[in-house]
Chain A
Amino acid sequence: MAYIPDREPISAWTRIALAYRRHSGSYAYILHRISGIGLTVYLFIHILALSSLTKGKAEFMAEMKTFTTLPFKVMEWGLGLLVMFHAFNGIRIAVVDLGNGARYQKKLLAFVYVVGVAVVLGMFVLIFNAELFAR
């Protein structure tokens, strides 16, 4: 865990950020937090978007049609990236904390990245199926 300054100027933050220990676990820690905040923001948007269920079929289906356009597909893939990293790394954290995973946390991290990349690439093919394979 990095040292967190108590009421220090912005310049101190920059210095501390640059002095951060560049270990694979530190990066996983940062990525887990960024993806977690991203997913929480998405949860709010998701709730707001689906509240159209109460406005009737026409409005809901029109909204769902919008979500199948290319920009939304790209965002959906990005969401999948966040979900997969956060889920796989979350399992790693649980194994390290609750099991005996501290012994092999780096191997677990390699597993997180390899499986994560494979799944996210698989998602790319599934999401952009229509664009990739023209019929």
Chain B
Amino acid sequence: MEQVTTESADYLRTYSRSRRSGASSWMWQRITGLALVILTVGHYVLMHYNPVSGHDYDATGERLAMPIFKGLYLAFISIGMYHGLQGVYNVIRDFKLRPWLHLTIWGTILIAGIVFLGIRWNTMLTFDPQKP
């Protein structure tokens, strides 16, 4: 096997120049993936260190009243949806389907993903903790 000598900086330099090849999506998949690992650890601690307050309506209201929290969670769901859709696209693309079938499957998933992301943003932005 050939010796691997490439340093991380070389990869960054190479992929910063290849926007049209799809390599930027490849790079973003790594960046968002690592961000999601960190955010998921935080999410698990928050939801399950104290499972009762983690899943409580009032506690959720208190948390979402904090702008930093709301911002982090909107970022979390958006990054997660981007990473998920990009990943599914990679899988679909590998099957080399007929163009109409590719467009139908991928189009349906993409539109559904955007709609669901909209539902989540709507839930978080219109959530009123005072509602009984």
Contacts and interface: CB of A to CB of B under 8 A. Distances in A.
Interface residues of B, number: 44
B30 A40 contact: no
Interface of B: 4, 6-8, 11-12, 30, 33-34, 36-37, 40, 48, 55-58, 60, 77, 80-81, 84-85, 87-88, 91, 94-96, 98, 112-113, 116-117, 119-120, 122-124, 126-128, 131-132
> Chain A binding site: helix, strand, loop or mixed by DSSP?
helix
Interface residues of A, number: 37
Contact of A7 (B33, B96, B122): B96
5 contacts: A36-B91, A47-B116, A51-B119, A93-B33, A100-B4
Nearest to A1: B94
A37 B123 contact: no
Contacts of A37: 87-88, 91
B112 A44 contact: yes
Contacts of B30: 93-94, 97-98
Question: Which 7 residue pairs of A and B lie closest in terms of their CB atoms, listed nearest first?
Answer: A40-B84, A56-B131, A57-B57, A36-B87, A47-B120, A64-B55, A102-B4
